[in-house]
Structure 1
Amino acid sequence: MARTFDLTLNKLEIPLIQGGMGVGISLGSLAGAVMKEGGMGVISLAHPGYRDPDFMKDPFSANVKALKEEVNKARAISEGKGLLAINAMCAINRYDEYVQAAIDAGVDVIISGAGLPLSLPSLTKDRDLLVAPIVSSAKAAQLLLKSWDRHYNCTADFIVIEGPDAGGHLGFKPEELLEHSAKNVLDILEETKPVVREYEEKYNCIIPIYVAGGMNTKEKIQEAINKGAKGVQVATSFIPTIECDADIKFKEMFLNHDQQELTLIKSPVGYYGRAIANPLSKQLEKGRVAPTYCVNCIKPCDFKVTPFCITEALIQAAKGNTTDGLIFSGITIPTQTKLRYVKEVIHDLMGDIK
């Protein structure tokens, strides 16, 4: 069944998606600033309510309340431009309820990864929404699109391919990331195009592909588009910006840092992620860092044995505790020495690319 809704990617003035970064890194301020420049701003569904005084007592309610506030903030900042998305990890508990809350809050797009969102169309089908999975291989794209076709008679509105150079949770083995033996995101793009083409033909539509991971220069972005990508997803480049929602100390970790200071962390989610090396990462290399509380946030996590609490670590980081916090990062940290405005970053990345 082809889409008949009015909402399309044509509202984007530039082919740029701001990657979702939780906890508290990409909320309404950053998302709204990207939207104002004609891109797709993304609010992370990973604990947007972490600052709420009732968060520890009732994290779900705090998160839903904060989500609505951040959506309204982004809309106000954007002045009606761009598109607003949420990024939802498949691994979170109450996934369906969080996605429904985002729909109720009035977002335009649902982007979902950290696992395959096989059941997502059950929540979004026949809604005036754009829906996109995040994949890391042509095989994953085939599995996802085949499942949506078979079970829901629908397909994706677009796809995001996250390559091995991306930040956050990655769909690659640690040896691939450490030895750089994983395929380049543009290689994955080339393998994924014929998979997508099959469903484009079946549904008589275009399924744009956006690529993510290391897209930190105009030249890389242009190359990706020349090779068939509709556009790119960029996250790390937006951290050292004035509008980024994180604490100033978190942002400063992305100033004057070289790539040798990156390490891999195995998240309780079950995926490896790239992070800036700090005292927490060094502790985790030696053994377990026992959590002090649990808000029952992700499905695979067992409080009694988990190597660390990712919620606690990400909250600490967002609040500026760069010693005990987890600081996810893409492989390419910006070389800048001072904070910039989102508008400046987008100008450097996109130039006259349309």
Structure 2
Amino acid sequence: MSDRLTGLLGIEHPIVQGPFGGLPSVALAAAVSAAGGLGSFGANQLSPDGITDLVGELRSAVPRGRPFNINLWVPLPGEAQLRPSAADVDRIRPLYERLDLQPPTGYAPPPPFDDQIDALLAAAPPVISFVMGVPPARVVAEARRRGIVTLGTATTVDEAVAIEAAGLDVVIASGSDAGGHRGAFLRPVTESLVGTFSLVPQVVDAVGIPVLAAGGITDRRGVAAARALGADGVQVGTGFLATVESGASAAHKAALAGSDARVTALTRLFSGRHARAIVNGLMREMAAEEETVPAYPVQNVLMQPLRRAAAARGDASLVNLWAGQAAALSRPVPAAEYLTSLLS
């Protein structure tokens, strides 16, 4: 793969760990960076102070001179003004009762993006990545001034072109095979479901900046295929989610290791945004509600305590089992060993 990516990011191997918004781990990011890849941490749920502390933790955990990446979500227009209705709470009340819990009585929206990004720029990690959109021009300019490399996530060719035009350094071509949330921002998700190995060569032809292939890449065969299609490197999510150091719950890791991992689907039930997960009890039980649950961040805030409680109890039927379409190829091994297997 191209040296221009490894040189730009300051890494030995063209492997980027997916950031896992909601399921990250300092231990995993540090292990990947120590092994010569780019460790990542999804900080979209952290407060500005939490982001400052996180960057400090990673600087201490990652070997000196090794880079790491912090990921944020770019908010969609109008998102911050959304609030839950009584019907939204009533819809999930039976799920809470099943675990002998009370549904949320108040609503605390996620921290504002502007406050998060200001804290992140001030902390100046080596790399910042974005999903769900293009960051404001002042963010890109300040990152460049501070020597921070920027990555943007595209689900279509048009999004990749927009990311390059905005001045970001690298584009992540994220195919519909990928696990977790879809990052479409120019067209609806349902119009942006391009498979990884259809998307990557088109993005390579459309932009001049380095391209990371993402989605359904879980072993060395996927890495080789991405390379053949012109990608400068790969971003691997689900494969690292299954490793020893990841922040996924025991129930989640068990699901990744089982036969259920062969079947994934897009769902809005866990967060209000389309995300790919292993099909489980909640997705089957509430299938008729897919289009009626509130949008992100409302559904995410309402479901978060339920998901965490279910994970703590080992109840995979109510957990958001994020996984890509090649999840069944993942292995529960240490992150450094897994990274090496991608290269050999």
For the aligned pair, the TM-score class normalised by the smaller chain equals 0.7 to 0.9
Q: Which piece of structure 1 moves more, 258-267 or 235-244?
A: 258-267
In the alignment, does 2:342 pair up with 1:349?
Answer: yes
Residue 60 of structure 2 corresponds to which residue in structure 1? 76
1:275-314 residue pairs with structure 2 within 5 A?
275-287=277-289, 301=296, 303=298, 306=299, 309-312=302-305
Work out the percentage of aligned pairs sharing the same amino acid.
22
Residue 232 of structure 1 corresponds to which residue in structure 2? 234
**Structure 2 unaligned regions, length at least 5:** 1-5, 76-109
Aligned residue among 59, 63, 70 for 1:86: 70
Residue 163 of structure 1 corresponds to which residue in structure 2? 175
Residue 33 of structure 1 corresponds to which residue in structure 2? 31
For 2:52 and 2:311, how far apart are their aligned partners in 1? 20
In the alignment, does 2:108 pair up with 1:109?
Answer: no
Report the Cα offset of residue 289 of structure 1: 12
1:210-249 residue pairs with structure 2 within 5 A?
210-249=212-251
Aligned residues: CA RMSD: 3.2
Normalising by structure 1, we get a TM-score of 0.74
Normalising by structure 2, we get a TM-score of 0.76
Report the Cα offset of residue 267 of structure 1: 5.9
Residue 12 of structure 1 corresponds to which residue in structure 2? 11
Larger helix share, 1 or 2: 2
For 2:327 and 2:190, how far apart are their aligned partners in 1? 21
Question: For 2:16, what is the secondary structure of its paired residue?
Answer: strand
Residue 52 of structure 1 corresponds to which residue in structure 2? none
User: 1:285 is aligned with what amino acid?
Assistant: A
Report the Cα offset of residue 236 of structure 1: 0.5
The one-character-per-residue Cα deviations of 1:50-89 (angstroms, maximum 9, x if unpaired) are xxxxxxxxxx3xxx34434433333333222532111111
Question: For 1:43, what is the secondary structure of its paired residue?
Answer: strand
Residue 332 of structure 1 corresponds to which residue in structure 2? 326
Aligned CA distance change for structure 1 residues 38 and 317 (closer, same or farther; 3 Å): farther
Question: For 1:117, what is the secondary structure of its paired residue?
Answer: coil
For 1:34 and 1:84, how far apart are their aligned partners in 2? 9
User: 1:12 is aligned with what amino acid?
Assistant: I
Residue 202 of structure 2 corresponds to which residue in structure 1? 191
Contact 1:313–1:326 (CA under 8 A) maintained in structure 2: no
Residue 54 of structure 1 corresponds to which residue in structure 2? none
For 2:134 and 2:303, how far apart are their aligned partners in 1? 20
Aligned CA distance change for structure 1 residues 187 and 75 (closer, same or farther; 3 Å): same
Contact 1:288–1:307 (CA under 8 A) maintained in structure 2: no
In the alignment, does 2:153 pair up with 1:134?
Answer: yes
The one-character-per-residue Cα deviations of 1:5-33 (angstroms, maximum 9, x if unpaired) are xx95252000011001121x223111111
For 1:346 and 1:19, how far apart are their aligned partners in 2? 12
Contact 2:45–2:111 (CA under 8 A) maintained in structure 1: no
For 1:93 and 1:308, how far apart are their aligned partners in 2? 12
In the alignment, does 2:316 pair up with 1:322?
Answer: yes
1:112-123 residue pairs with structure 2 within 5 A?
112-119=130-137, 120-121=139-140, 123=142
Contact 2:51–2:116 (CA under 8 A) maintained in structure 1: no
For 2:311 and 2:124, how far apart are their aligned partners in 1? 25
User: 1:322 is aligned with what amino acid?
Assistant: A
| Aligned residue-pair number | 300
Report the Cα offset of residue 162 of structure 1: 0.2
Report the Cα offset of residue 227 of structure 1: 2.4
